[in-house]
C-alpha cells in the first residue's frame, strides 16, 4: 500500500469510525493477514533491515535495532510476534496488572485530527498478567519489555504488592521491566511519582529482582508534566535505587496550543501524538544533560517520521501509540526509514 493511497483513501474511511473500534479492527486485521501463507515473510522482507550499525547493547540486552513499539498497542501480548515482523527492534507489552480489569467506561479514545494527536483515558484495561504469560510462553526471539502497573481498586499504600506480583509472574518471560506510575488515567497513580513513595517502591522491586541469579533491567516510565525540580528528583532516585534507566515520557494532561475543537480537547485523559513531541524531547534532553548521561533513556512521544526518530538521539527509541501517528504506512515506515538514513 502506497503512502498516498493510505492518506487519501484508507485513512479518511477509518476516521469515520470510533477510534477504539478502529484500533481493534487494525489489531484483528494484522493477526488475520498473518494467517495467510508467506505473508509474514513478505512483511519481514518489506520492513525489516538487519545491519550491525543498527544494533544496540543497552542494560545488557542486545537490541537488533533502536526502534521499538511502546506499551499500549499490544496490551495483552496477543500480537507481539506479528508486530515484530514490521521491523521493530523490541515490543513493549502492557500495561499489565495482577487482576483483569475493564478500564474506564467508553467512550475513552478521542482523535484530535487538526493536531495529529489523540486523547485516551483507557485506564489500564487488560486481561491480567496470567493471561499474558500464556501467550509469552510461545515467544522465541522477540525482545519483550513488560510494562507493569497496579489495579484501579488497589489503594496506593498497597500498590507495591501489585507491582511485586507482576514482576514475579513475568520474570521468566520478559527481557526488561517498566514500572508505570505515570498514567493520568488511574486515580491517584501519579502520586506514586513523589520522591518518597517512588524510592520505596523501586527499592522493594530491586530487592526482589536481585534475589534472582540473573536480575532483569528495571526502568521507570515518567510523566511529561513533571517540573524541573521533580525531574531532578528522578535523577536522584535512579542513582539511589540503581534502576537501569528511564522511559520518557507517558501522555500529558496539558492542552497547550491545540487547534482541535474545544469539545474534544476538554476531554479528560492523556494526550499523545504530535503535540507531545516537543515536551517529551525537552524532558529527555533535561535528564540526559543533568544526569551527565549516567543512565539509558528510552524516548517516547510524537514520533511520526524517520527524522523524528533520529532527533531522539539517545540510547533507545520507542514509537508511542501506533494508531495516531499517521497510522499504518507512515508509522511502520519510521522503522525502515530510520534504517535507510542511518546506513546512508
- DSSP category for residue 79: S
Torsion of CA 185, 94, 104, 17, to 10 degrees: 110
Catalytic residue among 84, 182, 183, 318: 183
Distance between CA atoms of residues 342 and 344, nearest Å: 6
- DSSP category for residue 269: S
8 A C-beta contact, residue 89 and residue 65: yes
Distance of CA 142 to the CA centre of its chain: 16
Distance between CA atoms of residues 147 and 132, nearest Å: 12
Q: Which three cell numbers stand for residue 35?
A: 494467517
Q: Which three cell numbers stand for residue 124?
A: 489500564
Cα-Cα end-to-end distance for the chain = 24
183 assigned to active site: yes
Which residues does residue 148 pair with via DSSP β-bridges, in sequence order?
96, 179
Backbone angles phi, psi at 25, to 5 degrees: -65, -45
Cβ partners under 8 Å of residue 119, min gap 6: 109, 110, 112, 264, 265, 267, 268, 269, 270, 271
Mind telling me the catalytic residues? 183
Amino acid at each position: 500500500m502506497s503512502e498516498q493511497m493510505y492518506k487519501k483513501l484508507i485513512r479518511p474511511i477509518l476516521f469515520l469510525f470510533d477510534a477504539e473500534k478502529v484500533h481493534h479492527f487494525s489489531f484483528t486485521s494484522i493477526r488475520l493477514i498473518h494467517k495467510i501463507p508467506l505473508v509474514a515473510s513478505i512483511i519481514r522482507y518489506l520492513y525489516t533491515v538487519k545491519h550491525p550499525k543498527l544494533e544496540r547493547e543497552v542494560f545488557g540486552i542486545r537490541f537488533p535495532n533502536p526502534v521499538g513499539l511502546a506499551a499500549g498497542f499490544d496490551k495483552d501480548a496477543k500480537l507481539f510476534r506479528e508486530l515484530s515482523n514490521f521491523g521493530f527492534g523490541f515490543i513493549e507489552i502492557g500495561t499489565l496488572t495482577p487482576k483483569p480489569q475493564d478500564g474506564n467506561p467508553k467512550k475513552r479514545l478521542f482523535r484530535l485530527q487538526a493536531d495529529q494527536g489523540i486523547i485516551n483515558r483507557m485506564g489500564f484495561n487488560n486481561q491480567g498478567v496470567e493471561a499474558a504469560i500464556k501467550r509469552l510462553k510461545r515467544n522465541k526471539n522477540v525482545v519483550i519489555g513488560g510494562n507493569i502497573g497496579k489495579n484501579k481498586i488497589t489503594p496506593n499504600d498497597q500498590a507495591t504488592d501489585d507491582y511485586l506480583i507482576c514482576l514475579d509472574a513475568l520474570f521468566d518471560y520478559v527481557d526488561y521491566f517498566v514500572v508505570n506510575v505515570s498514567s493520568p488515567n488511574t486515580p491517584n497513580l501519579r502520586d506514586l511519582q513523589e520522591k518518597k513513595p517512588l524510592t520505596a517502591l523501586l527499592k522493594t522491586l530491586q530487592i526482589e529482582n536481585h534475589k534472582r541469579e540473573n536480575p532483569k533491567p528495571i526502568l521507570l516510565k515518567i510523566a511529561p508534566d513533571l517540573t524541573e525540580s521533580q525531574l531532578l528528583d528522578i535523577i536522584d532516585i535512579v542513582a539511589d535505587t540503581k534502576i537501569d534507566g528511564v522511559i520518557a515520557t507517558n501522555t500529558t494532561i496539558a492542552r497547550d496550543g491545540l487547534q482541535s475543537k474545544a469539545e474534544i480537547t476538554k476531554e479528560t485523559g492523556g494526550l499523545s501524538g504530535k503535540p507531545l513531541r516537543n515536551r517529551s524531547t525537552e524532558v529527555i534532553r533535561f535528564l540526559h544533560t543533568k544526569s551527565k548521561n549516567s543512565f539509558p533513556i528510552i524516548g517516547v512521544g510524537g514520533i511520526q517520521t524517520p527524522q523524528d526518530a533520529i532527533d531522539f538521539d539517545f540510547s533507545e527509541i520507542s514509537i508511542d501509540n501506533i494508531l495516531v501517528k499517521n497510522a499504518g504506512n507512515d508509522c511502520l515506515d519510521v522503522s525502515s526509514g530510520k534504517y535507510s538514513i542511518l546506513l546512508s
